[in-house]
Structure 1
Amino acid sequence: MSAINPYLTFNGNCEEAFEFYKSVFGGSFLTLMRFDSIPPGDYAPAEEEKNRIMHVALPIGPNSTLMGSDRMAAHGPGTNGDNFSIAFNPDSEAQADQVFNGLAQGGNITMPLAKVFWGAYFGMLTDKYGVNWMVNYEYNKQ
């Protein structure tokens, strides 16, 4: 089933923030990946960023997941108002294409849809209304 979840970005304190959220909501992380897991040559992080959070997911009840990451220095610092995205998880690659291309009309693609090393079809964009979106179709959904 398709899902929409909030995706928060931080300027280096994502791990601290998500440990706090975990203490409030309970549970455990579904995923916690650091930038050092990026294969060589693919969006390589700076040395001081390698231990920062590339992706974390914390279930908040049966139908919602709070997600987040640290922002890479190459993207500039985040500020209040641009430090979150809406993450859309489609049911198929075709649906990912349809939704991504629809949202991109009049907007700005920041990362085109492509197969990525974590086993997904992923892309990022800002729509024409200034809303940040991430589209992530996972090939091996459970």
Structure 2
Amino acid sequence: MAQVNAYLTFNGNCEEAFNFYKSVFGGEFPFIGRFGDMPPSEHGKQISEEDKNKIMHVTLPISQETVLMGSDTGGEWASNFNVGNNISLSINTDSKEEADRLFNGLSEGGKVTMPLAETFWGAYFGMWTDKFGINWMVNYDDPAKMQH
């Protein structure tokens, strides 16, 4: 079974926004990662001092079933940022096969922005915009590969 959550993208003020959401919903961030924490091999170039402290990924559980997720955009991704297209639906799956099935089905006729692949954070992950203009991402966390 898949779980779908909202993924919000910000143009540099993700931390401010998520601190605000936390002040309203309560709770804690189980994970907050910054672009400066990424292995250099993942981005292929030097991250600017300005971008190092920006949020690469943050999660805030807001109910038993729902997690609000987000990140900042930067570099070449920033040119695609528009308020209104900065929300994606994020699907977490129970298996790699389910991730493949959903990715292949939902991206048909759309535009793949990041093909499904193993990531440095230990997940099998991909992103696309479907044929109706909706942004999606799918993530499978293989328990055997998760970093702690």
TM-score range, shorter chain: over 0.9
Identity of aligned residues (%): 56
State the match for 1:57 in structure 2. Answer: 59
Distance 1:98 1:77, change over 3 A: closer
State the match for 1:133 in structure 2. Answer: 136
Q: Flag the structure with higher helix content.
A: 2
State the match for 2:10 in structure 1. Answer: 10
Amino acid at match of 2:133: G
* Cα RMSD after superposing both structures: 1.3
Q: How many residues align?
A: 141
Tell me the SS of whatever aligns to 2:7.
strand
Contact residue 2 and residue 88 of structure 1 kept, 8 A: yes
Tell me the SS of whatever aligns to 1:9.
strand
Contact residue 127 and residue 133 of structure 1 kept, 8 A: yes
Distance 1:101 1:77, change over 3 A: closer
Tell me the SS of whatever aligns to 2:8.
strand
TM-score when normalising by structure 2: 0.91
Runs of 5+ consecutive residues of structure 2 not aligned to the other structure: none
Amino acid at match of 2:10: F
State the match for 1:111 in structure 2. Answer: 114
Residues in 2 aligned to 1:127 and 1:63: alpha-carbon distance in whole angstroms: 24
Paired residue for 2:76, among 74, 81, 84?
74
TM-score when normalising by structure 1: 0.94
State the match for 2:127 in structure 1. Answer: 124
Tell me the SS of whatever aligns to 2:42.
coil
Contact residue 96 and residue 124 of structure 2 kept, 8 A: yes
